[in-house]
Amino acid sequence: MASPATAHKDFVKITDDVISLDEVAKLVRDPKAGAISTFSGTTRDNFEDKEVKTLAYEAYAPMAEQTMKQLINNARAKWNDLIHVAIYHKIGDCPVGETSVVIAVSSGHRRQGLEATAWLIDELKVQIPIWKKEIYTNGGPEGTDGGEVWKANNTLP
């Protein structure tokens, strides 16, 4: 006999800790799910011709988490097959190649979960109050480090 329907759960977190794709994906497991769709964002080592030494993220954490919950509510209104949704974003130092953001969505069938995951990362990049600073190893004045820059995402996803 099939298990009874489970309540939909949302998990949002701004964290200093290293983010594990596996652990976030586990949060959204459900016996009713036929699919778990995930997105994992990692930090790149270059911007134009500059080499990025390290990156750091800052957040307005309470607003970021509240806005993530609103995004999930909006996603549930667009896609009715979603079961559980998790969005984790790292703040603080984030060395090149590390995971900065993970989104995991469980759904009855794959299509809506995949679409919702893509939509959520696009909206996150536009709406969530989180900022990335790139610190460069080169590209600055002769004989100096390359300085640091607060980045800006494109305003349209």
Partner 1 sequence: MTQKFTVLYFASAKDAAKTDSDTFEWSVGITSAALTRQLLARHPALDHVLKTSMFAVNMEYMDQDQSWTVQPGDEIAIIPPVSGG
Sign of CA dihedral 104, 91, 99, 24: negative
Contact 113, 105 (CB under 8 A): yes
**Contact flag: residue 127 with partner 1 (CB under 8 A):** yes
Token pair of 147 as six digits: 């300085």
Contact 12, 69 (CB under 8 A): yes
**Contact flag: residue 73 with partner 1 (CB under 8 A):** no
**Contact flag: residue 74 with partner 1 (CB under 8 A):** no
Block residue for tokens 């469980």: 106
Which member of 41, 98, 118, 139 binds partner 1 (CB under 8 A)?
Answer: 41
**Contact flag: residue 69 with partner 1 (CB under 8 A):** no
Which member of 30, 35, 66, 135 binds partner 1 (CB under 8 A)?
Answer: 66
| CA gap 115, 120 in Å, rounded | 9
**Contact flag: residue 47 with partner 1 (CB under 8 A):** no
Q: Rank residues 76 and 125 by Cβ distance to partner 1 and give the closer one.
A: 125
Question: Footprint of partner 1 on this chain (CB under 8 A)?
Answer: 41, 57-60, 62-64, 66-67, 89, 100-101, 121, 124-133, 150-153, 155
